[in-house]
Each structure stands twice: as C-alpha cells, then as structure tokens.
Structure 1
Amino acid sequence: MKNTLACPLWLYKVLPFLRWWPMVDKTTTKADLIAGLTGAMIVLPQGVAFATIAGLPPEYGLYAAMVPAIMGAMFGSSWHLVSGPTTAISIAVFASVSPFAEPGSAHYISLVLTLTFLAGLFQLIMGLARMGALVNFISHTVVIGFTAGAAVLIAGSQIKHFLGLQMPRGLPFYEILHQVYAQFSSINPYVTAVGAVTLVSGIVLKKLMPKMYMILAMVIGSVVAIVINQMAGGPDVTQIKTVGALAAHLPPLTHPDLSLSAIQQVLFPALIVTMLALTEAVSISRAIAVKSEQRIDGNQEFIGQGLSNIFGSFFSSYPSSGSFNRSGVNYAAGAKTPLAAVYSSVFLVVILMAVASLAAYLPTAAMAGILFLVAYGLIDFHHIHSILHTSRQETAILMVTLIGTLIDLEKGIFFGIILSLMLYLYRTSRPAVIAVVPDSEPGSYHYVPAENKPECPQMKILRMQGSVFFGAVNHVQQVLQDVDESNPDQKHVLLASSGMNFIDIAGAEMLVQEARRRKKIGGGLYFYRMQNSVRDLLIKGNYMRDIGEENLFSAKTHPIDTIYPRLDSEICRKCQARIFAPCNISLPNGELRK
C-alpha cells in the first residue's frame, strides 16, 4: 500500500479523499470497477421500489443513487459506505411530506427537494461542529446486533420476490413470516426455481470467482428465467417478474424551494430525517468497518452525508443515507477504495443512457437470491458467538438491538444504545472496591487482594477501581460505612486510589464527609497514590482542609509508618495478624514488643 500524500492536516479535513487517493492503482481500479458495476445492477430494482415507497416517480430512486453516492464517497470517511435511497428514509419522506401535497405531484417533489436540502444542511452543520463524537456512544455490540437485524430484514424483504408471493410493502418481519405460512400453497415454483438457481450459483461461484460471482450469478438467473419462460409458455404463465425497462436520461437539474412557507412545512421533518439518516449512515459504516478493520471518523461522515444531500437536492435527489444493501454488496464485491461508489454511479448512468432496456430481462427473483447471500455475509457469527458465551449484559444488548431492529429498523438501534448506556452507567456507578493487604515480599510497596488473608483489626485497606462521581457516591459511601459497621474497631481506612482517575464535586463532598465522620470516631481516612487530577480538584475546592494533606501518601512510600502511631496500642497488644512491619517491632505507643 502506498503512503498517503504529505499534506497539511487541515487539507485532509477539507479534502479527505487525499488520504486514500495514493492507494489507487491498476489493482484497486479493477476491483473497484467490478464492485461498482455490481452495485449499479443491485440498485436498479431497489431504487425504483424505494422511490415508489417515498411517493415519487420511479426514476427519482435512481437519481438518489447517483450524485449523493459520489459526494458521500469523496467527502466521507468510510471506504465502503455507499449513499443512496433507503427503506427507512423513503418511509420517513412519505410520512412527512404527504400531508402537505399529493404524492408524485410537482409540489410534492418540490417539498421533498427542500427537505433534502435542509437535512443536508443540518448534517453538514453537525459535522463542522464536531458532533461526530455522538457515534462513540454506539457500542460494538450494538453495531453487531444492528447489522445482524438489518441483514435479516434485507433477506426478509426479498422473500416475496424469491417465492413469488403477493405481500404489501413495508410489512414487519414477523408478518412476513406469517404471510409465508398463510400463502405456503401459493408459492410459485417457476419464480422460486430462478431464485434458487441464482442463490446456488452465487454460493458456488463465490468460492471459484469471488470477484465476479454476483454478476455471473445474476446472468445465470436471467438465462434460467428466459429458458423457463420458453418451456412453460411465457411470463403470463410463469409469473416471473423482471425489473422492467427504465427511462434513459440523466437526473435533471433542480433547485429546492427555500420560501418561508416551504421551510416551515418541512423544517421539523428535516430534523427527523437528519438524525435518522446519520444514525443509519454511521451505524452502517461502522458495521462494515468491523469487517474491513478501518477507523471511522464520525465528524467526517456527518460532513460527507451533509454534502451528499445538499448537492443531491440540486440533482433531483430525495434524502439519501448509507445504504445497507449497496454498502454490503460493495464490500462483498471486493471494493478497495471509495472510487467504487463513484464508478457505481457512473455505471448507473451508463445503464440508464445506453442499456436501460436490458433491465427488462433481470428477474426480481434473481436479485432476491443475490441479496440473500449479501445478508448472510453481513451477520458476524464469530462475534455473536463470543458475546453469547462471555457476557450476560452484552448478550442482553445484542438481543435487544437485534430483536428491536427486526421490529423497527431505527428504533432497534436506539433501544440498543439506550440499554448499553444504562448498563454502562450501572457499572460505573458501582466501582469495584476491593479489600487488600500489604504484599509480603520484602521491600514491596504493593498491595494484594486480601482473599482470606489476615487483615489489620484497626485499619481497613481498600483498593478503588473506578471514578467517584455523582452516580457512584452512594455505592462508595455505603462500602466505607460497612467497614466499621462490620468491625467497629476498624476506624481507620486507607484507600489505594491509583485507579480512582476521576472525581466530581459530589464525590469530593462524600470523601470530606467520610473523613470528618472517621475523625469523630477516633480514626481517619487516608489515600495512597492519589491521581494528580483528583488531588488538584480537592485542593481547588478547599476540600483538602478537611481531608488533610498529611493523609495523602505518594507512590513508593509506606503509609503505615505514619498511621501506625495513631492506632490503639491495647488492640495491637492482643493482635496476632501483625501484617505490617512495625507490628513486629513495637506497639503504637512506642513500647517494644516482648
């Protein structure tokens, strides 16, 4: 792989394609061309279907797969994400704009273009404001669950085409399964044969010709459909449907209606579409990145999606986002750089201008068979197996995200994010507080887990492993209070606090309260190896006045040398544990051991 161009950092942010452009060579170009051609063929039937769902003329679904794909590829961060029309965005557009205009009318199209422009503008502003960090709250498990759920939805949406059944658009997954059961006797054997041959061909060719298997499988499926039609008496008998001939012209230049009335009508829907599109795009790019091992820049992805929709609104495009189908196909087909998405748009234009009529020979059942393969490849069985066998909490997140995605694509990932954040807050609100004792090795400054070892009857030593913030205050305070409640003689507590890397005002107030309480009962609260950031906050907030600088002990010191004289000599006289070095020499009052 070639090195990136030696450019100033700011230039990479303005022109992000400079990072991967040096990778382009004959090898990557060949792979990207194949992936681009495959993606162009895949989007033909999808674009028409998505535009119909959005209430727009069929060609608008293809327009949304041209300019937005180019802008998203050149200015986004993902090397495999392909922007274009999606099911969720299409549904959102129809639901948002249809109350204001007749679907398919000129006024309806004008409002949709305004919606597209505003959504892109909001996305661009969020990217420039560096709000891409929001995607860091989408955990790896959520991405895997969302990917698996979306893959099942992709396969589910193709079942009717694969089996030749009649089903309304937009059915939830469970209803699709119910319809298959109810219409089982109506399965079309001719259509199913075309889909099955395509699927089997794809499986075999993927091993033999991994770069070309999708295109070759679709060709085989098309040929099989032609043969079946000739043998069985024609399409009227077999009911084998094809994509159909498409209009051959480029997307016309347009401009969004930026009048006050139009903006007022679609402003709030634009905000909804913005978040919906960004969630989809970033989730999909991260899902693909799990396989490609590429790092995704959320801010740059926001910018890329914003520019794709802003420019798309001037080229007859309705709102686009990352397409799971096209992105999955793009990666599976061996794309090496974002130029694959650019080539896909170019091939799509070529197909429309020159050979649009050939789409009439491409069976929808063959497309379904290919998308079954794509969906299967998107499911990360390895990581799912690992999650199921390692963590109950992560398993819960995975299942909630997966099942939620099957019920509602967008709500599924939101449910997963919310649950993962709730579990994270629960874990951080209960930082580990472990009882430890001094390491018995001579000269050691370390502390080891008590684990049934004898402990000092007057001083409890605890290791803090986590931040002490407002959510964790009650838990930590309860642990500290439990010490002297379980053993009233343990009035002194030493906190090995190198793992306490953050503390807020609530945490500081709690420590001060605990220090005061222990002083009143004749003990003390001490800290060993406190982080500088924590110490600085305590000093700035004047909390150290109650805690006491003398009660803070730095690394490679023995706090017991200072604390030991404060212990009760009579208790020490009877103690048999003697876990500290001074215990074996003298009592706290200075009396030598006999």
Structure 2
Amino acid sequence: MNTARSFNWSLLTPFMTWLPQVGRQDIKADLVAALTGAIVVLPQGVAFATIAGMPPEYGLYAGMIPAIIAALFGSSRHLVSGPTTAASVVLFSSLSLLAIPGTPEYVTLALTLTFMVGVLELALGFARMGALVNFISHSVVVGFTAGAAVLIAAKQLKHFFGVEMDSSGHLHDILISFGQHVLEINPSATLVAAATLALGIACKLWLPRVPYMIVAMLGGSLLAVGLDAVFGAEATGIATVGALPAALPPLSAPSLTFDHIRHLAPSALAVTLFALTEAVSIGRALGARGGYRIDGNQEFIGQGLSNIAGSFFSGYVATGSFNRSGVNYEAGARTPLASIFAAFMLMAIVLLVAPYASYLPKAAMAGILFLVAWGLIDRAEIKHILHSSKRETSVLAVTFFSAIFLELEFAIFAGVLLSLVLYLERTSKPKIHTIAPNPHLPNQAFSSEPGLPECPQLRFMRIDGSVFFGSAPHVEQYFDRLRAEHPEQKHVALFSNGINFVDLQGGLVLSREMQRRRADGGDMYLINVKQGLWEALEGCGCLDERGSRNIFQSKTAAVRAIYQKLDKSICATCDKRIFWECKGNK
C-alpha cells in the first residue's frame, strides 16, 4: 500500500498537464508545423533506414507510432522523436556483424534491439536516473557525431559511385574496398549523386526555407529518369530504392531469446545512453529557447515507451531528432500535438506516394546522405574545443577515432571512460596555495601573490577542491614537502572554505598532519570551516577535544589565538610585523 501511494502516477499521464490547456490557436499553429514536419521526415525516414541497413519503409514506420508515444509521454513541447542518423549508424554497426542487412533476420534483430533499448530507457526513467546522461560530456557527443558522419559518407560510397562493393566494417576497410573497385565507377550514377548533392547545397544556401531534401531528391530522380530515357536503363545501370508498401505499420514482435539478448545487450546499453543524451540535450536546448524546463526522468520514460511500442509496430530505434525538432520549433509548434499531427500526416502521405519511391535512385539517396553527413559535423564546436581545452580535445579525438576505426558503440564508452579518468585525475590534485596578508590590499586581505612577506613561524594555506581517497596522497605529499622545506614554520593555518568534500581518508590526512605538527612543537588550524567539513571530521573521529579548539570561523579570531602560541623570542627579533598583534611586540 505504501509503495502504491508513494508512486508518482503523473509519470504515466504527463499529457494531462498540457492537453486540457490547448486552445484553438494552438491547434492551428500545430497543424501548420505538423505539415512541414511530415514532409521533412518522408525523405529522412527513407535515408536513415538505408543507413541502418533496414528496408526503406521501416524508417517511415519509426516516425509514426514512436513519435506519437514520445510526444504524449515526454515532457518537451517541441521534441520530435523518430529515426535519426546517429541511432541508425549505431544500429547498423551493432547488427551488421550478426546478420546480413535488409534480411528478415536482420530486421528481427533490429526490432529486438529496439525493444531492449526501450526497456532500459523506461527502467532508467522510473529509477529517476535522468542525471545519468550528464556523464556523456559535450565533447563525447561532438566527437561521436563527427565520427558517425564520416562513416555515413563512407558507407554511401558504393551508391554514390554505383559500384558493387562491401561497405561493412570500419573506415579503413571501406576505403580499401572502394580502392579495389575504383575502376568500376558508374558515370551515370555518379552524375545523379553529384547533381543531387549540388542541388541540395544550392537549396540550403539560397532557398533555406524550402525543404532541400525533397527538392534534391526530386531533381536527382528526374535526372535519373531522363538518363534512362535517353540511354536506356540497362546502359545507365542506375539502381533505385524500389516501391514502398502503401500501408500502415504492420504488427511485429521482437525475438527475446537468450542468445539474442546476450549478443545485443552491450549494443542496447550504448544505444540507450546515446539516444537518451540526444533526446534530453535537444529537449533542454529547445526548452531554453521556448522558456520552459523539461523533466529528464519523464523524457526517459517517454523515449522508453516509444521504443517499446515501436518494436511492435515495425519501427526501429527512435530518439529525439536534431533537425526535425528544430524544424518543428521554427515552424511555430506550440504543443506536443504538432508531433502527433505530423505522425498521422506521414501515414496519409505514405499511403498516397509510396508507389512512386520506385523512381528514387540510390545514387540520389547517397547524395542526400553526403549532405546530411556534412551537416552533422559541428565544425565551429570542434574548433572551439580544440582551442579551449587539451583535456576536452583528447576526449573528442579518442571518441572520434574510436568511432571510425573501432566499433561505433564502443566510441561512446571510450569517450565517457576517458572523461571520467581525466575528471578523477584533475580532482585527485586539488590546488594548494600559500597565502599571506597583502599590505597593498584593504585591511591587509590575504592573497596568493608571490613574494609577500610571511611569518617565520606560521604559514597560511588554502586548498581548493576535495580531500578524499583519490586526492589524499597528493595533499599528504604536499604537507611532507612543506615540513621538510620549511621546518621553522611549525604552525600551519588552513583556510578550508575551498574544500568541497572530505571523506574518511581525507579526514585522516588532516588529523595526522595535526599530530605531526604537535610532535614538532607546532600545530595545524582550520579557518572558515564549512558545516559539511566539520561533520565529516567529527564523523570519522578525526577531531579530539584539542583538535576542535583549532577550528575558527574567521581569520581574525584564528590569528589572535595562534599568535599566543608562537615563540615570543623569535617574535622579538622579527622585523616583518605582518599581523596587527605584531605591532605591540617591539
């Protein structure tokens, strides 16, 4: 009973928070945006299915039921879910080693992987693990996307140039295979692909409001039809996609055998992490532009339910789409109804135009995908990362090269692992400063400026960072070096407001340093101690009665108390007069 009462049932009905508030003007704006979205997803669905190694119609199916479910159960007003480039590339990379792309066995594996991804996303959402995506840094996303873009272009070389070659494997395998078939290039197919690419670029540059994919595909298709009419289809050898079934998504079922689950589990985890990162990142960006916040956990649930449903309606892995979500926002969408309307419009369009897909050349699709790949590479952000941080540059490079030379799903794990290693390396060496009163600042405020006069018996320090098991050796080595190089400074006062966290081992390091200082005739004192640090020191038993008297909440009180413990014979011969208390010691 208590569990049932404590469960937040609104997680399963998030649409009830916005649906009753939808007005007539909202519906009108959403319908206009939906029409644009439906037109955009038509060529993208076919293109992304090609990338994924799926029959073309499955890319369209992935933009239907999954988009509706994600809109109803997510938290973003503008996020559009469906097939995406990155998810398609990861899917192909994961499954092409297990089955031949396009075959029934391959499709079954794709549906099974989609179901597993949905279950993982749903479980993470209910477990309130929305912050998990924060472990995938921006540099990992940029590097992975750039690597995926290179692979997309490489895998389309066979269609762009009309050659029969093996496009599976890693980048170097594809390039070697292409080099072996370079003399078999089909001029007609290459002309169609190049013309499609050029038309798409021209559209993006000079007619940005026109759906460039549709215009480019139409142009490429008309050119192919013209070449076939003039020279004959056998002479040109231009391969086409083939007719799409004019039908709604058929029912399907994943194959949840032990072997399938065992083989697909690593890929499912990788796809889940990246898909959720993609969806939540897009949702947050659009929410910031639209003046609202999204719930990461709710978005996990929405994405999970959409993929579970998609696996039973012939849809492969769906997630938030960068370009379709942007189009949806720019087209004036106000509520998630725009995504729902777009999915229903897509169904109607498929029923009407599916037979005409037989005229769509694979070379034209390759030209479009070259353009998609180029757009995926965030050149400005890559340049920014390269110039701003060596650490982030290394994360970007490792993720990128892992994507193109190793398994694509491994690239995500490699990038995340390196990010965590670099983070731990940085936190294991907190900055430790020597500080002293600066006579040039008001009230002789303390600063770390080099060359400031110091008390010959007392050193002031500041630690910025955490003192935990990972950084304890670094802090302890600093203390040891300080005692060896400055034995005359038997007293140390540590400004502690820069310490974020102390664990048991960190507390023991501070406690042992106090004991060593006392054994040498001095002591260590803590100034500006945060409540968390005080509790940590008490909790680990690092503060005895004497130690607790060495904690001060202000530097004035600390200096006044510590001054009484200094060797007055040394003070009598000291000419530095650093503290106010020194003025009276003449």
> TM-score, length-normalised on structure 1?
0.85
Q: Kindly state the Cα deviation for residue 490 of structure 1 after the two structures are TM-superposed.
A: 1.1
Distance 1:209 1:248, change over 3 A: same
Give SS of 1:249's match.
coil
Equivalent residues in 2 for 1:58-137, closer than 5 Å: 60=58, 62-77=60-75, 79-80=78-79, 82-84=81-83, 86-90=88-92, 92=94, 104=104, 116-137=114-135
1:228 equivalent in structure 2: 227
1:168 equivalent in structure 2: 166
The amino acid across from 2:505 in the alignment is A
Per-residue CA deviations over 1:519-551 (Å, capped at 9, x if unaligned) read 110111111111111112222333221662221
Give SS of 2:468's match.
coil
Instruction: Answer whether contact 2:119 2:304 (CA < 8 A) is retained.
Output: yes
The amino acid across from 2:172 in the alignment is Y
Instruction: Answer whether contact 2:403 2:410 (CA < 8 A) is retained.
Output: yes
Distance 1:110 1:385, change over 3 A: closer
Distance 1:367 1:51, change over 3 A: closer
Instruction: Answer whether contact 1:127 1:303 (CA < 8 A) is retained.
Output: yes
Give SS of 1:470's match.
coil
Unaligned runs of 5+ in 1: 1-8, 587-592
Q: Kindly state the Cα deviation for residue 331 of structure 1 after the two structures are TM-superposed.
A: 3.6
Q: Kindly state the Cα deviation for residue 138 of structure 1 after the two structures are TM-superposed.
A: 0.8
1:467 equivalent in structure 2: 466
2:5 equivalent in structure 1: none
Name whichever of 575-584 and 196-205 sits farther off: 575-584
Instruction: Answer whether contact 1:277 1:322 (CA < 8 A) is retained.
Output: no
2:551 equivalent in structure 1: 552
Equivalent residues in 2 for 1:537-576, closer than 5 Å: 537-545=536-544, 548-555=547-554, 557-576=556-575
2:3 equivalent in structure 1: none
Distance 1:482 1:45, change over 3 A: closer
Q: Kindly state the Cα deviation for residue 569 of structure 1 after the two structures are TM-superposed.
A: 2.4
Equivalent residues in 2 for 1:503-522, closer than 5 Å: 503-522=502-521
Q: Kindly state the Cα deviation for residue 130 of structure 1 after the two structures are TM-superposed.
A: 1.2
Give SS of 1:490's match.
coil
Matched, 1:280 2:277: no
Instruction: Answer whether contact 1:191 1:240 (CA < 8 A) is retained.
Output: yes
Give SS of 1:544's match.
coil
Name whichever of 396-405 and 166-175 sits farther off: 166-175
Q: Kindly state the Cα deviation for residue 221 of structure 1 after the two structures are TM-superposed.
A: 1.8
Name whichever of 23-32 and 301-310 sits farther off: 23-32
Instruction: Answer whether contact 1:332 1:374 (CA < 8 A) is retained.
Output: no
Instruction: Answer whether contact 1:198 1:221 (CA < 8 A) is retained.
Output: yes
| Cα distance in 2 between the residues matched to 1:215 and 1:418 | 40
| Cα distance in 2 between the residues matched to 1:378 and 1:19 | 33
| Cα distance in 2 between the residues matched to 1:186 and 1:17 | 59
| Cα distance in 2 between the residues matched to 1:217 and 1:370 | 7
Per-residue CA deviations over 1:456-493 (Å, capped at 9, x if unaligned) read 22111111100111101011111112112111101111
Distance 1:445 1:558, change over 3 A: farther
Q: Kindly state the Cα deviation for residue 276 of structure 1 after the two structures are TM-superposed.
A: 2.8
Equivalent residues in 2 for 1:277-356, closer than 5 Å: 277-285=271-279, 288=282, 294=288, 297-317=295-315, 319-322=316-319, 327-328=322-323, 331=326, 341-342=339-340, 345-356=343-354
| Cα distance in 2 between the residues matched to 1:224 and 1:465 | 65
Q: Kindly state the Cα deviation for residue 498 of structure 1 after the two structures are TM-superposed.
A: 0.7
Give SS of 1:467's match.
strand
Give SS of 2:460's match.
strand
1:191 equivalent in structure 2: 189
2:447 equivalent in structure 1: 448
| Cα distance in 1 between the residues matched to 2:151 and 2:110 | 26
Matched, 1:38 2:37: no
| Cα distance in 2 between the residues matched to 1:49 and 1:556 | 64
Q: Kindly state the Cα deviation for residue 111 of structure 1 after the two structures are TM-superposed.
A: 7.9
Q: Kindly state the Cα deviation for residue 118 of structure 1 after the two structures are TM-superposed.
A: 4.9
Q: Kindly state the Cα deviation for residue 362 of structure 1 after the two structures are TM-superposed.
A: 1.7
Q: Kindly state the Cα deviation for residue 196 of structure 1 after the two structures are TM-superposed.
A: 1.9
Instruction: Answer whether contact 2:46 2:57 (CA < 8 A) is retained.
Output: no
Equivalent residues in 2 for 1:353-392, closer than 5 Å: 353-392=351-390
Matched, 1:151 2:149: yes
Distance 1:109 1:328, change over 3 A: closer
| Cα distance in 2 between the residues matched to 1:494 and 1:155 | 61
Give SS of 1:86's match.
helix
| Cα distance in 2 between the residues matched to 1:118 and 1:368 | 30
| Cα distance in 2 between the residues matched to 1:143 and 1:316 | 28
- Between the aligned residues of both structures, percent identity stands at 40
Give SS of 1:150's match.
helix
Distance 1:148 1:74, change over 3 A: farther
Name whichever of 192-201 and 335-344 sits farther off: 335-344
| Cα distance in 1 between the residues matched to 2:506 and 2:163 | 62
| Cα distance in 2 between the residues matched to 1:224 and 1:82 | 33
Distance 1:550 1:458, change over 3 A: same
Q: Kindly state the Cα deviation for residue 227 of structure 1 after the two structures are TM-superposed.
A: 2.0
Give SS of 2:251's match.
coil
Per-residue CA deviations over 1:374-407 (Å, capped at 9, x if unaligned) read 2222222222112111211111111111111122
Instruction: Answer whether contact 1:330 1:340 (CA < 8 A) is retained.
Output: no
Give SS of 1:166's match.
coil
Instruction: Answer whether contact 1:151 1:375 (CA < 8 A) is retained.
Output: yes
1:536 equivalent in structure 2: 535
1:5 equivalent in structure 2: none
The amino acid across from 2:274 in the alignment is E
Distance 1:164 1:255, change over 3 A: closer
Q: Kindly state the Cα deviation for residue 283 of structure 1 after the two structures are TM-superposed.
A: 3.4
| Cα distance in 2 between the residues matched to 1:150 and 1:296 | 27
Distance 1:358 1:369, change over 3 A: same
Q: Kindly state the Cα deviation for residue 198 of structure 1 after the two structures are TM-superposed.
A: 1.9
Alignment: residue pair count:
562
| Cα distance in 2 between the residues matched to 1:370 and 1:279 | 27
| Cα distance in 1 between the residues matched to 2:272 and 2:454 | 55
| Cα distance in 2 between the residues matched to 1:112 and 1:400 | 28
| Cα distance in 1 between the residues matched to 2:403 and 2:332 | 29
Give SS of 1:451's match.
coil
Distance 1:254 1:163, change over 3 A: closer
Taking only aligned residues, the RMSD between alpha carbons, in angstroms, comes to: 3.3
Q: Kindly state the Cα deviation for residue 313 of structure 1 after the two structures are TM-superposed.
A: 3.4
| Cα distance in 2 between the residues matched to 1:371 and 1:193 | 15
1:486 equivalent in structure 2: 485
> TM-score, length-normalised on structure 2?
0.86
Q: Kindly state the Cα deviation for residue 215 of structure 1 after the two structures are TM-superposed.
A: 1.6
